[in-house]
Amino acid sequence: MTATPEAPADAGALEYDPYDAETVHNPFPVYRRLRDEAPVYVNEQHGFWALSRYDDVVEAHLDHETFTSTHGVTIEGLERFMPLLIVKDPPDHTAHRRVVSTLFTPRRIGQLESFVRQTAVELLDRLRGRDTFDVVQEFAIRLPLDVISELIGVPVELRAEVHRLSDIAAARNGREPLTKEEIQASMGLQELLTELARERRRNPGDDVITTLMQTPVEDEDGGRRYLDDDEIGVRFLELAFAGHETVAKLIPNAVVALAWHPEQRARLGADPSQLPKAVEEMLRWDPPSHYQGRWTTRDVTLHGVTIPAGQRVILLTGAALHDPRQFPDPETFDMDRLLERHVAFGLGRHVCLGASLARLETRIAFEELLQRYPEWDLVEGGAQRRMNGNVRGLRNLIIAVKPSPAAIG
């Protein structure tokens, strides 16, 4: 497999199209050229500007007044028509984020640990006796969605339907328009989640949905109100989308990283307490979310180039995380790197709400994987990459495994 960040930069005119098949396969060579040759790049065909150096990406993330999310966070920006947290500005954003944050307290995330482990164990137990399996389809996609269902209190009997609808809704590739089936699946998922809220309204309990219903939102005029059932449905749909595909990409990306760095895999197998720092390097080395879209509210001049007001600007997380100005020898996966700050979860106002949950899921996924399979190989032709909005990663990854004697016994 050659989806490596190490391929040499090509010469020729600099063109960056995130949906170009070669770029989806391996964007890192073009990222290098963007950082070095055009740190303020404009793509006139698709109508966006791109910032690729770490410092510029960080500053833009933190300058919310100049770089707003309200016009959407992808190049197409279609999500700006949905009432999502990610496209809101204060005071609306602050109010809604405060309510959703009640689901992500350290105590609540800590309580999920045993469920995450039990789910990972069950999924891996089903693969017992197999020489090969698809890490994405048979493990990484299942785990985060069940965890979100558990977090928001989806009853067990509805979880298979949540999987079915989410799989259809997330099947999109590149910039193809949404199909009727995909739209129906998203609407079906939202309806299912809204129905949960309706049911809980009739029978309140000691659960997350009831907590959301009872946590006030401060309106723009300073008044207090409570989320209605439709709004709760949207908040849950947002969590299902934000927290599912991203973790489902990080795990297989890291399976590739460790297959290419067997000495670090062996160290993690021997000492799983090193996994938390390795997870940070996994996020840096091949991040699921490759860019965050913004919109300029005023003219901005950077490196002698002026981006006018009213333009789509993408902050290239993927390029920033491989900027040698910040991360020496960036193409090397090195779990001993001291990563004080990276932008894989964004920064500032919209920084990922699920970061601690994502870290927990990834750590446990690898604790369980490494315990069963100290070694694995990538199967030739078993990997397929996709770009869906701003998320890039593997849709399939077949690996050949050698179970540890303990796992067989």
Binding site for ligand HEM (CB under 6 A): 69, 73, 85-86, 97, 148, 238-239, 242-243, 246-247, 250, 287-289, 292, 344-346, 350, 352-354, 357-358
Which amino acid is present at 367?
E
Cβ closest to ligand HEM, residue 27 vs residue 287: 287
CB 378 within 8 A of CB 397: yes
Cβ closest to ligand HEM, residue 86 vs residue 168: 86
- Determine the straight-line distance between the first and last CA of the chain, rounded to whole angstroms: 32
Cβ closest to ligand HEM, residue 72 vs residue 374: 72
**Cβ of residue 322: shortest distance to ligand HEM, in angstroms?**
15
Tokens linked to 390: 């701003």
**Cβ of residue 187: shortest distance to ligand HEM, in angstroms?**
20
Helical ranges in 275-383 per DSSP H: 275-285, 317-320, 355-372
Strand partners, 391: 289, 388
Cβ closest to ligand HEM, residue 269 vs residue 354: 354
Cβ closest to ligand HEM, residue 50 vs residue 401: 50
**Cβ of residue 160: shortest distance to ligand HEM, in angstroms?**
20
Residue among 101, 95, 102 at smallest CA distance from 222:
95
Cα angle 221-225-227, degrees, rounded to a multiple of 5: 125
**Cβ of residue 352: shortest distance to ligand HEM, in angstroms?**
3
Buried b / exposed e over 162-193, threshold 16 CB at 10 Å, is bbebbebbbebeeeeeeeeebeebbebbbebb
In the block, residue with structure tokens 């938390």: 276
Tokens linked to 54: 């770490």
CB 394 within 8 A of CB 383: yes
Cβ closest to ligand HEM, residue 66 vs residue 292: 292
**Cβ of residue 391: shortest distance to ligand HEM, in angstroms?**
8
Residue nearest to ligand HEM (CB): 354
Residue among 198, 214, 238 at smallest CA distance from 93:
238
**Cβ of residue 104: shortest distance to ligand HEM, in angstroms?**
7
